[in-house]
């Protein structure tokens, strides 16, 4: 592990939450990168990706909104993935059911469990995730850390801007 990237490692009765400063798009050693998402699909079939990390992904590849919108409409507000047009897998990480509402610790826990299952299934060695729910989601980082630390192991790097 590169010591100069490490912000903190917290142990809270589960795994160590590995936190780093960095941009989600500047993580070439990851098998997958995640964006935080919600469960709202617009009338045109696109997932709402109008703010925060989701908007940054939308700006890089607008077609993601349609692809993830289809998946959310068909399969619900869960972790979904795609590899289209990217060097890494792109994964949605739901933190909200509706973009207008604050993020939900319960949904973050569900998403973390689903992300671990997907990572196991795909055999990924390193996955980058923006700190879920602390920006536009309005949650406290320490509360989120308590929820994800029993779930996310050392394959997951949580990025702090």
**Span 102-136, pLDDT tens digits:** 999 999 999 999 999 999 999 999 999 999 999 99
CA gap 140, 57 in Å, rounded: 23
Q: Quick check: is 69 in a domain?
A: yes
Tell me if 107 is assigned to some domain.
yes
Q: Has residue 103 been placed in a domain?
A: yes
Residue 2 lies in a domain: no
Number of domains in the chain: 1
Q: What is the pLDDT of residues 7-65, one digit of tens each?
A: 344 444 567 789 999 999 999 999 999 999 999 999 999 999 999 999 999 999 989 99
Q: What is the CATH number of the domain that holds 119?
A: 3.40.220.10
Domain that residue 146 falls in: 15-160
Residue 7: inside a domain: no
Answer yes or no: is 1 within a domain.
no
Stated pTM of the model: 0.90
């Amino acid at each position: 592990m590169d010591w100069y990237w490490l912000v903190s490692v917290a142990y809270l009765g589960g795994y160590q939450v590995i936190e780093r400063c960095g941009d989600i798009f500047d993580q070439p050693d990851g098998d997958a990168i995640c964006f935080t998402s919600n469960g709202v699909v617009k009338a045109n079939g696109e997932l709402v990706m109008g703010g925060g990390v989701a908007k940054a992904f939308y700006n890089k590849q607008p077609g993601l909104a349609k692809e993830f919108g289809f998946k959310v409409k068909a399969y619900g507000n869960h972790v979904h993935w795609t590899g289209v047009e990217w060097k890494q897998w792109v994964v949605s990480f739901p933190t909200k059911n509706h973009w207008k509402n604050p993020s939900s610790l319960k949904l973050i826990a569900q998403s973390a469990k689903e992300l671990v299952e997907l990572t196991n299934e795909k055999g990924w060695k390193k996955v980058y995730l923006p700190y879920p729910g602390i920006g536009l989601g309005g949650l406290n980082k320490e509360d989120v850390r308590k929820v994800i630390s029993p779930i996310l192991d050392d394959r997951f790097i949580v990025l702090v801007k």
